[in-house]
Each structure stands twice: as structure tokens, then as C-alpha cells.
Amino acid sequence: MNINVHHVTRVEGHGNIVVDTKNGEIKECRFEVVEAPRFFEAFVRGRPYYELSHITSRICGICSVGHATASLRATEKALGVEPSEQTVLLRKLNFHGEMIDSHVLHTYYLVAPDFLGVGSVIPLAATHRPVVERALKIKKLSGDLCALIGGRHTHPCAMAVGGFTHLPTEAELRDMRARFVDARTDMDETVALFATLPWPEFERETEYVSLKKDDEYAYIDGTVVTSDGFSYPIEDYRKVTNEECVSFSTAKWTHHNRDSYMVGALARLNNNFDQLHPRAMEAAAKLGLKPIVTNPFLNSAAQVVEMVHCIEDGIEIIDELLTRGVQPEEPPAVDLKAGEGAGSCDVPRGILFHNYVYDEGGRCVSANCIIPTNQNMANLNADMKELVPQIMDKPQDEIRLMLEMLVRAYDPCISCSAHFLTVEFV
């Protein structure tokens, strides 16, 4: 058997699947990241503190809010800036918009076609029109929320160190709340649809890494925890990530207590299940999800659960903002000084880290960004090596599809992951 997929479709960026077996023995089995390296950590060197979140949000057009938020938290910690309670609430609400936006893109546009027997979402417009219309409706809702809070749908311009340069009005928040309440029907239908899908049967135990808080389902800040019982402050993220280069990938691999670990919706659900909104727990039950879930294909089902959670928590955040009243706030004073800070958010594809060092003038001296997709690469490869022997008796086309579905289950953002390259001349 020889499988060479160049490049996997319905994922962001360029990645290859290479499998070669002979007489039932695996000679090669790997997922290659072949995306050209990107140098955002070099881009920000020498730039003033107030530019970094705007620059690093361009790392990704899907997770721009997540990158901007992690960047702001790293800068705020380095310079001793404490965001107000109102800013914290608005950031959480903005984050929910991005989480829904990314998850609906992945589950409906990228994953559903595999189960409905087509090559992309385009044919579904003819065969499953209500499904596509529902996806578009959810996506517009999430995009409008990001534009309302962040200033525009992609690459937020209103997010700043310590606050926002633009605030939503009471009328805008009330209108958004009504749309979120209406979206409950779309969420119920989404859960019902994905509960009918024949998820591939495959289990492999691994370590799951995410943020965690005692009082909420953590997306911004918190403690880094793993399902193997480890816990670290965000500043100690390098103890978890342990990055290394591999010869066939421009994305670095990571490992912690085992040879690999998984991040993303499934990791968050496994580590933070008790913090889910009750309606999200109901959705999880309908989808057959109860920790610890060890089937990586069900990462997409976990994303559906998170969409339900974000709708419900978004309604509660809007209610709190309306009760408090959104008030204009003066941006906090920034005491320019040398310092270092690490910020972390659990973005759609998993835990993200930004780490900056500033000089006494508030200019970035060095930066380090560790992306969720590259944290998943070793785990994806380990899954492939265990899955292939289990399906080797199937036709080659079925094996190829199953491996592509496994890659898509991780929802990789490959361009984001390829951000480092060392060239040695010998």
C-alpha cells in the first residue's frame, strides 16, 4: 500500500499524508507540514508594545481574536497593566464570537462533507440546503459579534492594551442578545445533526492539555493543566511544550509527560467538563461525550458542544454588561519599563502561548509564540501509526479517506504552526 496525499484538502494550509506499507509492515507513516515558514516572532522585534497585538493577530485569519487576546495579556503582564472588569467581560464575549465562527466553519464546511458523501460544502447547497443555510446563519451571527466588539470581523482593531478603543451601545447589545437567544434553535438542530453521524471507531489514550479555572470554562487566562495530573502557571509553559524540530515538518513538535499530547476542544472538554453550561452538558450527552473521551475524531463533536456553551455563556455575559452598563473608560496608564510577560488563551484549535520581552522603552526585544496546531502534530502522527494497522484490510481509497478525516478532526491551522526555521551552513 502506498498513499501520498499532496495536499490534504479542507484544512487550512499545506500538509501531506505519506503512508507506505509492504507485506503488512509499516515502512513510512507520517503527516508532513510543508507550509513555508513564517517569521512573526521576528516581525515584532523592535516594535512598540501597542503594535504587537495588531501584528500578531495577522498570524491567523480564523483565530485573530485569540492571537490578539493572548498578545495583549502577555504585554499587560510584562508592563504591569490590569484590565478592568468591563474589558474582561468584553474580551470573553468577543472570544465566544470567534469560537463559534471557527467551530461552525470546521464542523459544517470541512467535516460534514466527509459524512454526507461529497467533496466539499458546495454540493451540499443542492442536496442539504437547510444544513448549509443554518451554517451560514450561525457564521453571520458570530462574525457580527466579532465586528461589534472587536471593530471588525477579522483582525480586531478595537482591542488595545488594557481596554478597547470602541464600545458597543446598549441597543447593539440588546439586539445581539436577541439573536443569541434565537440561535438556540440552530444549536439544537446542529446537535441533532451531528448526533446522527457515524463517527469512526478509534481509541487511543493520550495526554490532554488545556487552560483551567475553578469558576468557568476557561478560554482566557487560568492555569495550564493536563489530564495526567500536572498543573503549571502560564509563565511555565515551556515545561509543557518542550518544542523540538523534526526533519519532515516546518512545524515544531511538542511533548510533555508522554511522547505527545492533544490540545483543542476535546482536551478542554476532558479537563473542564464540569464547567460547561448545563445546556452544553445536555448536548454532550446527546453526542455521547463523557470524559475521558479518547477518540480524536470526536474533537469535532466536542466543538459542537462548545458552540452551545458559547451561545449560553454569551447570553449571560451580555446580561451582565447590560446590568452594569457599558461605560467609556480611559485607557490605563502604561509605565514604560523593561519586563517579560506570558499570555495564554485556549483558542479554537487549543492552547496558545505568547511570550514577550520588552526593553525600558516599551519596545519588544524578543518574542515566542507556540501555536496549538504544532502542539498537536506529534499526537496526530501517533494516531496515524496506531490507526493504519487497524484499517489495513480496507480498500486503499477508504484508508486514504479515513486518514484525511483524522487530519481534519484535529482542525489544523497549518500556516499558523509553521513559524520557525533554523538554517545551518556546514
Confidence grade of residue 172 (pLDDT, cut at 50, 70, 90): very high
Cα 82 to Cα 85: distance, rounded to the nearest angstrom: 9
Residue 301 has pLDDT above 90, yes or no: yes
Partners of 309 in beta bridges: none
**Which one, of 353, 349, 352, lies nearest residue 410 by Cα?**
349
Question: What is the model's pTM?
Answer: 0.95
Domain limits, the chain: 2-324+334-417
**Which one, of 156, 118, 45, 31, lies nearest residue 414 by Cα?**
31
For the residues 20-26, what does the mean pLDDT come to? 89
Q: What is the pLDDT of residue 418?
A: 67
Q: How many residues does the chain have?
A: 426
Per-residue pLDDT tens digits for 39-80: 889 999 999 999 999 999 998 888 899 999 999 999 999 999
What letter represents residue 166's amino acid? H
Q: What is the pLDDT of residue 422?
A: 45
Confidence grade of residue 419 (pLDDT, cut at 50, 70, 90): low
Give the residue carrying C-alpha cell 451582565.
320
Cell numbers given for 263 = 490540545
Per-residue pLDDT tens digits for 256-293: 999 999 999 999 999 999 999 999 999 999 999 999 99
Cα 107 to Cα 134: distance, rounded to the nearest angstrom: 12
Window from 129-133, 348-352, 411-415 with minimum mean pLDDT = 411-415
Q: What is the pLDDT of residue 424?
A: 46
Confidence grade of residue 414 (pLDDT, cut at 50, 70, 90): confident
Looking at the domain 2-324+334-417, which fold is it? Cytochrome-c3 Hydrogenase; chain B (1.10.645)
Residue 7 has pLDDT above 70, yes or no: yes
Residue 153 has pLDDT above 90, yes or no: no
411 CB contacts (<8 Å, ≥6 apart)? 11, 102, 106, 110, 264, 299, 300, 303, 348, 349
For the residues 91-103, what does the mean pLDDT come to? 98
Q: What is the pLDDT of residue 426?
A: 45
Per-residue pLDDT tens digits for 339-391: 999 999 999 999 999 999 999 999 999 999 999 999 999 999 999 999 999 99
Per-residue pLDDT tens digits for 232-256: 999 999 999 999 999 998 899 999 9
Specify the DSSP class assigned to residue 370. E
Contact indicator for 151, 166 with CB cutoff of 8 Å: yes
186 CB contacts (<8 Å, ≥6 apart)? 134, 137, 138
Residue 425 has pLDDT above 70, yes or no: no
